[in-house]
Chain A
């Protein structure tokens, strides 16, 4: 949540209520928040700063949170905005891919007729260990990595993701599709490097 962002103030909590709501609604999500921050930054110190920053902002703007609504999605949205506004600017990560171009291309009728597929087998993925899968995920551009984290790891619905990311649901779907195509390419590449014959009917491990 940026300083400039318009935040509707809906509640007027007392100081005691603020602390109660914070403890009850926000703190249970701190492990998920930390994992999200770590997967975005790939750095423990940055993840610490990002989570701390997010929770302090959440407390500061607690009057715009209605108790009993989706606290996790609300917190993820603040963290994502903090990451974009504060951390991504100073990070050494190369500039993000122009996913709008990718989405525009993907959504065009011409492209819809020529869908790409990645020749990868479920059995090959099952043989990869967690670290190899994590490496493939971490190698994706952050905008694609984000939708996979939100959907597959955190289990948000498309509607929740659209709110967290400030994008239309159609864009969530297309970005997720594109992200998974890239992830499959990365997984295939990892599997090949590890000696799996990804195209054969039977797996052969060197």
Chain B
């Protein structure tokens, strides 16, 4: 059974299972995943993630979804008929 103190503070062996700053941490996760965080924010989050399971899991999920968006969605090529049509119209201007 995990005590309330351990939930918040964690122990050297065990990460805390409840994050008391989850809202702020998840905003930070978004900045980090999007490459918009400062070095200071990255360092702050890395230090926190080492001690906090919800933050670690939250980061993994956001990163995984972003990767899925980048890599697993079908990328269409513009139809050649559209390409030809645009070029024809532009050359006529």
A residues near B (Cβ < 8 Å) are 19, 22, 30-31, 33-35, 38, 44, 48, 51-52, 55-56, 59-60, 112-115, 117, 120-122, 125-126, 128-130, 133-134, 137, 148, 151-153, 155, 157-158, 173, 176-177, 180, 183-184, 187
B34 in contact with A133 (CB, 8 Å): no
Assembled-state Cα–Cα distance A114/B35 (Å)? 25
> In the complex the two chains form, what is the Cα distance from A157 to B35 in whole Å?
8
Partner pick for B86 among A19, A38, A52, A153, CB 8 A cutoff: A52
- Cβ proximity bits B27-45 to A, threshold 8 Å, 1 near / 0 not: 1001100111000000000
Cβ-closest 3 pairs across A and B = A115-B23, A152-B69, A122-B64
When C-beta atoms are compared, the residue in chain A nearest to B83 turns out to be A30
Please state if B86 and A173 are interface contacts (CB–CB under 8 Å): no
Q: Shortest beta-carbon distance, B6 to chain A, in Å?
A: 20
Whether B78 is near chain A, meaning CB under 8 Å from some CB there, is: yes
Indicate which residue in A19, A152, A153 contacts B90 across the interface (CB closer than 8 Å): A19
Complex interface: chain A residues within 8 A of B78 (CB)? 30-31, 33-34, 51
Q: Does B50 contact A (CB under 8 A)?
A: no
Q: Given known contacts A31-B76, A51-B82, A52-B86, is B61 in contact with A125 (CB within 8 Å)?
A: yes
> Which B residues are in CB contact (< 8 Å) with A184?
61, 65
Q: Check A180–B69 contact: CB distance below 8 A.
A: no
Asked if B86 and A56 sit within 8 Å, CB to CB, the answer is yes
Contact B65 A183 (CB under 8 A): yes
**A31 & B75 in contact (Cβ 8 Å cutoff):** yes
